[in-house]
A and B are shown apart, each in its own frame.
Chain A
Amino acid sequence: MTDLEHPALNILLVDDDEGDAFIMEDLLEDLDLNLTMNHVLDGYQALAYLKRQSPYEQANLPDLILLDLNMPRMGGKEFLDAIRQDPQLAMMPVLILTTSSAESDVKDGYSKGGNCYLVKPVGIEPMIKLLRSMNEFWGTVAELPSKYLH
């Protein structure tokens, strides 16, 4: 094994836009990246998933989270507040992926503990480029806490 070989990256997508989630799932399948993805619709479901509460008792804990900001029930900022205060989840990398490029959202995203802030690309080709780059960095290059915690 070289320095850069890693097991498959397991992502939890937290996004109320089911259309975006379907597109991402299809692209990941087509691109044949070493990556698996599960999807929940809001921060409330994401917390239940991460804590393996009903109906997620068998959930496979993710290596990182892709988080939308604007969602019903519990939005991304509230979700970040919740997991950064939870000793079991505080270290989990969270990549904010949202349509908003407002400076206030970027600032809030980082100050609440988002590891990075990504603006959702418009169109399939830009999305493919983002997924490839994300997979190369987070799936191959970065050391993730999950490797040592799960």
Chain B
Amino acid sequence: MSQKQYQILVIEDETVDRHLIQRAVSLSQQPVTLQFLSQGQELSQWLSELSKDSSVLPTLILLNLNSPMQSGLEILKQLRQDKLLQLTPVIVFSASRASADILKSYQMGCNSYVCKPAEWPDFCRVIAAIIDFWLGFVKLPQEDRL
């Protein structure tokens, strides 16, 4: 992986999962900065600020589906309609293994769907695989700006 600094936007309400993602990314020792946002008002406010300052565009988005505030699928729809983020890859990162959630997410334009593993070694392996493939090999729409 090149020494560009990548920014991953993580839309995640659960404090424990935020901590696990942060820890697993740190262990990967890759040049990745994480930005966490809660679903609902915090995300809406961030999207509205993004339209004024697009220099903070993320290179990749991880989206949790389950939220008490707003459905993850509604957020996916919102992201796909956002002028600045519509091409940014979105990986749904969810505890749900329900086929309806997986199929609906692909249907609504997620770039991939990953289930959160229950075991910590698997969790680290999943985060490492996301970073290795998506930031190491994929040509991202925002990449030329990095």
Contact = CB atoms under 8 A, between A and B. Distances in A.
Interface of A: 2-4, 90-91, 93, 101, 103, 106-107, 110-111, 113, 115-119, 129-130, 133-134, 136-138, 140-143, 145, 147-149
A145 B136 CA distance: 24
A140 B133 CA distance: 12
Interface residues of B, number: 34
B5 to A, nearest CB: 20
B138 to A, nearest CB: 5
Given A101-B139, A107-B141, A116-B138, A149 B103 contact: yes
22 contacts: A3-B122, A4-B122, A4-B126, A106-B141, A107-B87, A110-B87, A115-B111, A116-B89, A116-B138, A118-B139, A129-B137, A133-B136, A133-B137, A136-B129, A137-B130, A138-B133, A141-B114, A141-B126, A141-B130, A142-B113, A145-B102, A148-B99
A149 B114 CA distance: 17
B106 A119 contact: no
A4 B133 contact: no
Contacts of B133: 133-134, 136-138
B106 A134 contact: no
B114 to A, nearest CB: 6
A113 B114 CA distance: 18
Interface in B104-146: 106-107, 109, 111-115, 117-119, 122, 125-126, 129-130, 132-134, 136-141, 143-144
Given A3-B118, A116-B89, A148-B103, A141 B129 contact: yes
Contacts of A149: 103
A114 to B, nearest CB: 9
Nearest to B104: A91
Nearest to B113: A143
A71 B122 CA distance: 39
B99 A142 contact: no
Contacts of B111: 115-116
B125 A4 contact: yes
A137 B125 CA distance: 10
A106 to B, nearest CB: 5
Given A133-B132, A148-B103, A117 B138 contact: yes
